[in-house]
Amino acid sequence: MGAGNVSVKYANIDVTIDGKPADSDLGTYLATPVGQIFTLAALHRFDDWGVTVGADVEIALKYDKVPDPTRPLKGHEVVNVFVEYQPESHPNLTFRGEVKNLFDEDYASRATYGQEFINVKPLLEPGRSFRLSATAKF
């Protein structure tokens, strides 16, 4: 059959300076990412075929503990998937296909500077992307 695993991570980070919400001018230097972020990951290996499949999802909830007159940070959900093949005849080779941001979500990473400022357009993370790779260990 095979083996698999599941992991769950949770972070809840509020950044305050002198009891007031911090902006990213100073706050990202103290702590990043801010807010509540859940990360779920799962993978399974099919030993008979040398195939591993997996996925992870990052869920960042809206974060509104920002100073006036800035705007709250939007929430987002990002899904990544992969399949990996390791031939039994060549265990030093691995072939992998990945899809990052499967559902083409428009979002800014919580580590992105200035996204809470009204006059700043945040730099968005890449949209859906594909990656094929081959690795040889020797």
| Per-residue pLDDT tens digits for 85-102 | 999 999 999 999 999 999
Residues 65, 124, 59, 70: what is their CA dihedral angle, to the nearest 10 degrees? Answer: 10
pLDDT tens for 16-34 read 888 888 877 766 667 778 8
Q: What is the pLDDT of residue 28?
A: 61
Residue showing tokens 């992870």:
56
Sign of CA dihedral 113, 70, 34, 7: negative
More confident residue, 122 or 82: 82
pLDDT tens for 30-84 read 777 888 999 999 999 999 999 999 999 999 999 988 888 888 889 999 999 999 9
CA distance 97 to 82: 6
- Residue 14: band (very low, low, confident or very high) from pLDDT cuts 50, 70, 90: confident
Shortest CA distance to 117 belongs to which of 72, 80, 85? 72
